[in-house]
């Protein structure tokens, strides 16, 4: 067991989450279905996400390309800080990628 902020998190739960994250195709499929917003793990079809929330935001990489940035965090988290941070990082990620590939336009 792991104790964080007075709460006990089972090693098994963390191990299952880690196994899910290693399956890139499953993570990619998940982020494509839940591309922008706040989702609670218990409301998804991935049982390993129960007890977690997912904050995700889509970004534009230019030339019609896009991606999704996601943050997996405990259900009890500071959403008022995390949501704008994820949105900002997604926006900056899109700008950086557009700069690298030479797309000089905003969508």
Report pLDDT digits (tens) over 13-68. 778 888 888 988 888 888 888 788 898 887 877 777 788 888 999 998 877 778 88
CB 68 within 8 A of CB 56: yes
As a whole number of angstroms, the distance between CA 3 and CA 97 comes to 38
Residue 93 has pLDDT above 60, yes or no: yes
The larger pLDDT score, comparing residue 91 to residue 76, is at 91
Q: Which pLDDT score, from 0 to 100, does residue 81 have?
A: 94
Spatial CA neighbour of 7 closest among 95, 74, 98, 67: 74
Residue 107 has pLDDT above 60, yes or no: no
Residue 3 has pLDDT above 60, yes or no: no
The larger pLDDT score, comparing residue 86 to residue 2, is at 86
Q: Which pLDDT score, from 0 to 100, does residue 32 have?
A: 81
């Amino acid at each position: 067991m792991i104790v964080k902020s007075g709460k006990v998190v089972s090693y098994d739960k963390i191990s299952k989450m880690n196994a899910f994250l290693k399956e890139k195709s499953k993570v990619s499929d998940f982020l494509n279905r839940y591309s922008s917003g706040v989702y609670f793990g218990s409301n998804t079809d991935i049982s390993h996400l129960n007890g977690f929330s997912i904050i995700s935001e889509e970004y534009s990489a230019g030339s019609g390309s896009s991606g999704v940035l996601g943050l997996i965090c405990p259900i009890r988290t500071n959403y008022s800080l995390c949501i704008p941070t994820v949105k900002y990082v997604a926006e900056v990620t899109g700008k950086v990628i557009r700069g690298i590939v030479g797309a000089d336009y905003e969508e």
